[in-house]
Structure 1
């Protein structure tokens, strides 16, 4: 039996006696209840055996919660691998992998499995990619191909993924497709339903109610649904004979689990494909350094289009710096805070009856202000927080700046550096941008997408669609132009992945625009000399990912090496590292003090501990497993000692600092 106990030193199997009346029901994989240390706890039957090495007394299995074998051998092995990879416990991973039971949904009879219908694959679409047709053939023949697929601009990627899942279903194997959010989930489910029918696919997401989610999860377990589409936890979906696993847009932060042991869906999918011999596709318009590492290592193959095809499918992309001189040349452009070229591109697209997508880094009115004279950030005199304009006070956009931390307004603000009163917008939010565009283009409808009001699809026609990053709606037929504003706000973030994330956001938006041959244009407001901007102009995500990987290899950061972030008090970190038998070539970086709110909370401690520090432990890529084992063993010792100061261990975090 494996009890569901999160304590590291209890992460092991325990032998129990099975009463004769429960012998038929207590099969490997079922949920059970056992008595442990005097209290009843839930657990799973891992295996049945007639003998035991235990020399002491045995406890008895109290009852079988359900005879449904929810923990399959494949998922059992995957849970073990994930726990070992991330220095966690199997109980924590199982909470991510197996949803809570819903008795009524479980009691429903499973629908009869219908035969897989004939499906049509767009061979021409796949032929645009080098070795695309060969990949389809290998998938149909169950040869477990693995690829990093670079989707072309304007590609109907949900249809392409549906075709892959249909090929796998034709070979009587299941498919798991992991997407970042509900919007992508709905698009892929609709595409799969059009090929295989609604009874062959299920969508899994956290927003579903417990009954519906468990009912769909059971459809995957029982094999009635051949295709599972879902967000990050669906990577554990128990499809029988899994033939294909797909991760779409693996650079999206949504794929990283915020609960212990903090696994990334891409890494879980790789472990599952490796252990089960499944085909694997890492896909997206952009590419991460991790994806490039898979290609460079030979584990996966490139699935990219030739440069001629890319040029024919991509929109025209122009980069220019945002300057006061550029705005001053055109009164209309100045009213909209757009450089003249961007203003002209928008006007041309609207004149042709097409929509214009305007991407801004943040929502709100004016999220950030600076001194109008010396450009120093405008700070609150009370708490030193950033000042912003939460709403417009008049037609000219003037208003009283207020602190974004404490909320106190400061009508008499003076710059702390030069004493000037004037303020300027550093980053203009979606609300202010929409307002200014409405004045610059009178009579043109302006729609906003972001925050709690995300639009999925807009109809073709002359309209301005102002969207925050990640909330860009799809326009039927494609946008005529896209304006990517305040690029430096994305590039200038103090984040190891800032350049990679910026290119991913830009390419996702640009992929919604018509090709240059049909008049599609993209204007990015950023310095054209920046390598990330150049990669967008050339539409070269592969080259950018390779450069990012080389940069990280040079400075020693993932994925070129393995890194563990250890958070906690100074005493707790010291105790853990003393207990850990780290590899000889492990390098310690830190500790550094973390600001309040800079990390996820550790279970069992106050939300804001007094002295939160972070120590980084860095090892070569081949030493990742020994590092995780050493930290896991040290955590188990501290747990057995009942240390009062917990420590949070995160392997290869996507954000550092």
Structure 2
């Protein structure tokens, strides 16, 4: 190895290079400090919301505006600031003439972009949501503002073309007695609020597009939020047909960063004033917002899985209150929260006439009458009674048939054929399943196959399948109707549309494709599976999924349900009365002190951390502490419940708890206000 004494010229050279680099860095620092020393003369203080996730630092901080940045530093722009010894991102909330800070203000480090991407309305919304869900504004703004794409930001946003003459209103609104007044109020610039129950078979994208066009014709913006990308695509087409291209943008999570930022800038700059999208679109900075539409608010896709876990419904209702916009909460089913809006008088009902509902669809339960039981004594115990086969056979002569089954897979549960004991794996005691018609039984947990299985109770080797999946259902229907195509839509292979040809479409809930002119018939199988879940919203969610499936039938079509005809949810489906069902559910929850009549919050974490959090929480006097409940993996959960009127006080107490725990650097706990499910 070569020693220092053998390279006398190298070391002095390295020293000189290091000295020169240090001198250059010092000169650059002095020049930057000199440039920043000259502070702007007008409103020299910038209040910055720094991107810090710590709850006790969730406030604005004052910085001096250097004269060199004076022209570009405006409310809503991105900046870099020095904070806690490091350069962090932030947003300028406002410019001010003075500061409450007694010392010398640190200058802004850098103006990232002079593009204002955070509007005052979204700043106020972030404040409301952080208070409502006991979170931080920085977490809300991560959901609201997409990451910057510098190249896209340099591109101009093409303005929308002039609005031409609108086509006639779609016929569906004529079935709603109150629709004419609602749409007239929208066009006149009013702010009506309605909960809309759409009729089965209605072309809801066309009806929503018409309401959006009426608002847009009055020079106001529109924001529409739907559960998934399939709904966005349908609304995208409906708006294009009604308004023409170039008047709206569609925001979905599948768009690339450049495309999404380009569409966001078009909205922020006012070039587009109609926005359609999934839950992220709830924060779109629409100019002159006049109408907010939320479709199928009971879908759990509207619940944000990231902190502070806001729900799209609450986000949009807060926006409507703050910005004075009209509201249309629609769906084929009705959530309990929507029913509460009607009960409180905050919104009015927009429902089709009963004659229109009777013309739209006929819903029957297999084996519900004595005559049907005489024809088929096993109608109530059979998975696919004779009536189902008859309806499918007749409907196939007119078009496609939809069959909804709740389970994904082939045979999702096995049991002894003789004694009905569930079949278990001998290695890990997991449940045995069949993945195909020629596959041996295999464990769902560890994957071990057991072709020689025998019952541990009675020794019998025969198996029965109490629960069948969509693949086995498609196989059985293919054998029963050999002249028809059988399509499967589920899991990772979800079909968006099917044609009107003769076909049987087997789909899991939420994966039902759309037929251009509707299905000739709809069949709902294994309803007991959806009703067997242990959850507060089991019946409500089951009815919502059934209504969404039946709504795909063509006008005058038929739906057959296999299940218990005495169950309240099935009775509501047969009568097509989701509003009455939601009202009864709301009454029962009010009696049981459950949401939406009360406000719930959960605290989840390690047992010691949860116990400390409950001790520090200054909850309202009427608060009830339920738990703790062991969740496994060294976690537990406590539920805090208060009357609805004290909900804001509970949220404020939880937010203060977050600040105290953050300042003391205590172990983290996860706090959710009004979680979708417990």
Smaller-chain TM-score range?
A: over 0.9
SS at match of 1:15: strand
Structure 1 runs (4+) greater than 4 angstroms displaced: 325-331, 414-420
Q: Could you give the per-residue CA deviations for residues 8-50 of structure 1, whole angstroms, max 9, x where no partner exists? A: 1111111111101001111011111111000011010011101
Match of 1:465 among 505, 513, 520: 505
- CA deviation after TM superposition for structure 1 residue 124, in Å: 4.3
Which residue of 1 is the match for residue 308 of structure 2? 261
> SS of the residue aligned with 1:61?
coil
Hey, what's the Cα distance between the residues in 1 that align with 2:530 and 2:229? 24
Alpha-carbon spacing, 1:480–1:619, altered in 2? closer, same or farther (3 Å): same
SS for the counterpart of 2:554 is coil
1-side partners of 2:668 and 2:330: how far apart?
Answer: 38
Mapping of residues 562-577 of structure 1, within 5 Å: 562-577=599-614
1:34 aligned onto 2:71: no
Please list, as runs of the form range in 1=range in 2, the aligned pairs for 1:258-407 lying within 5 A after superposition.
258-320=305-367, 338-350=384-396, 352-393=397-438, 399-407=439-447
Following superposition, the deviation at residue 376 of structure 1 comes to 4.2
2:674 alignment partner in structure 1 = 652
CA drift of 1:4 comes to 0.8
1:567-621 Cα offsets, whole Å, 9 max, x none, are 00111111112221100000011111114xxxxxxxxxxxxxx411010000000
Question: Distance in 2 between the 1:634 and 1:475 partners?
Answer: 52
Aligned pair partner of 1:482 in 522, 525, 546: 522
**How many angstroms does 1:374 deviate by?**
4.2
Specify the structure having the higher radius of gyration (Cα).
2
> Which structure 2 residues correspond to residues 565-604 of structure 1 after superposition, within 5 A?
565-595=602-632
Matched, 1:501 2:538: no
The alpha-carbon distance between structure 1 residues 42 and 179, as it changes in their structure 2 partners (threshold 3 A), is same
Instruction: Select which of 472, 475, 483 maps to 1:443.
Output: 483
2:261 paired with 1:227: no
Between 615-624 and 552-561, report the one with greater CA deviation: 552-561
Please report how far the alpha carbon of residue 330 of structure 1 lies from its aligned counterpart in structure 2 after TM superposition: 10
Match of 1:533 among 558, 562, 570: 570
Aligned CA distance change for structure 1 residues 561 and 479 (closer, same or farther; 3 Å): same
1:433 matched to 2:470: no
Q: Deviations over 1:235-260 (max 9, x none)?
A: 10001111111111111111111000
Q: Distance in 2 between matches of 1:295 and 1:593?
A: 37
The alpha-carbon deviation at position 121 of structure 1 amounts to: 4.4
Which moves more between the two structures, 453-462 or 312-321? 312-321
Question: Does 2:643 correspond to 1:624?
Answer: no
| CA displacement at 1:419 relative to structure 2 | 5.3
Counterpart of 1:642?
Answer: 665
Q: Distance in 2 between matches of 1:407 and 1:108?
A: 53
1:633 matched residue in structure 2:
656
Q: How many residues align?
A: 627
- Write out aligned runs for 1:401-420 (5 A): 401-415=441-455, 420=460
- Distance apart, 1:163 and its partner CA: 0.6
- Corresponding residue number in structure 2 for 1:604: none
CA distance in 1, matches of 2:428, 2:518: 46
Alpha carbons 2:170, 2:210 under 8 Å: kept = no
Structure 1 residues 203-222: aligned runs within 5 Å = 203-222=250-269
8 Å CA contact 1:576–1:631 kept in 2: the answer is no
Is the CA contact (8 Å cut-off) linking 1:364 and 1:432 kept in structure 2?
A: yes
* Alignment-derived partner of residue 23 in structure 2: none
Using the alignment, how far apart are the partners of 1:24 and 1:305 within structure 2? 55
1:476, CA displacement in angstroms? 1.8
CA distance in 1, matches of 2:527, 2:410: 17
8 Å Cα contact 2:366-2:388 kept in structure 1 = no
Matched, 1:75 2:112: no
Q: Deviations over 1:36-71 (max 9, x none)?
A: 000011010011101111123422101111111111
Q: Structure 1 pair 417/506, CA: closer, same or farther in 2 (3 Å)?
A: farther
Q: Please give the alpha-carbon distance, in whole angstroms, between the structure 2 residues aligned to 1:56 and 1:574.
A: 40
Task: Confirm or deny: 8 A CA contact 1:318 1:524 kept in the other structure.
Answer: yes
3-state secondary structure, aligned to 1:347: helix
- Quote the offset at 1:381 in angstroms: 3.5
The Cα offsets for residues 249-298 of structure 1, whole Å up to 9 and x where unpaired, read as 11111111100011111110111101111001110000000000001000
Asked whether the 8 Å contact 1:152–1:313 carries over to 2, the reply is: yes
- Would the alpha carbon gap of residues 650 and 419 (structure 1) be closer, same or farther in structure 2, given more than 3 Å must change? farther
CA gap 1:508/1:14 in 2 versus in 1, 3 angstroms: same
Q: CA deviation at 1:314?
A: 2.0
Note closer, same or farther for the CA distance 1:32–1:288 as it changes in structure 2 (3 Å cut).
same
Conserved 8 A contact 1:246-1:282: yes
1:199-223 per-position Cα deviation (integer Å, ceiling 9, x unaligned): 1111101110000011011111111
CA deviation after TM superposition for structure 1 residue 2, in Å? 0.4
Moved more, 365-374 or 107-116: 365-374
What is the root-mean-square deviation of aligned Cα atoms in Å? Answer: 2.0
Query: What CA deviation, in whole Å up to 9, does each residue of 1:151-205 have, x standing for no partner?
Result: 1111110001111111111111111100111110000011111122221111101
How far, CA to CA, are the matches of 2:374 and 2:236 in structure 1? Answer: 44
Q: Which runs of 5+ in 2 are unaligned?
A: 1-47
**Separation of aligned partners in 2, 1:236 and 1:99:** 10
- Deviations 1:301-328, CA, capped at 9 Å, x for gaps: 000012122111123433448xxx9899
Deviations 1:613-657 (A, max 9, x none): 0100000001111111111111111111111x210001111111x
CA shift at 1:523, angstroms?
1.1
CA distance in 1, matches of 2:319, 2:428: 49
The correspondence for 2:492, drawn from 432, 452, 455, is 452
Q: 1:138 Cα deviation (Å)?
A: 1.0
Q: Indicate conservation of the 8 Å contact 1:361/1:485, yes or no.
A: yes
Q: CA deviation at 1:428?
A: 1.1
Offset of 1:385 from its aligned partner? 2.6
User: Residue 581 of structure 2: which of 544, 548, 571 is its match?
Assistant: 544
Which residue, 162, 173, 177 being the options, matches 2:224? 177
TM-score, normalising length: structure 2: 0.89
In structure 2, how many angstroms separate the alpha carbons of the residues matched to 1:257 and 1:78?
16
Asked if the contact 1:327/1:338 (under 8 Å) is kept, the reply is no
1:410: Cα distance to partner? 2.8
Choose which of 103, 110, 113 in structure 1 pairs with 2:150.
103
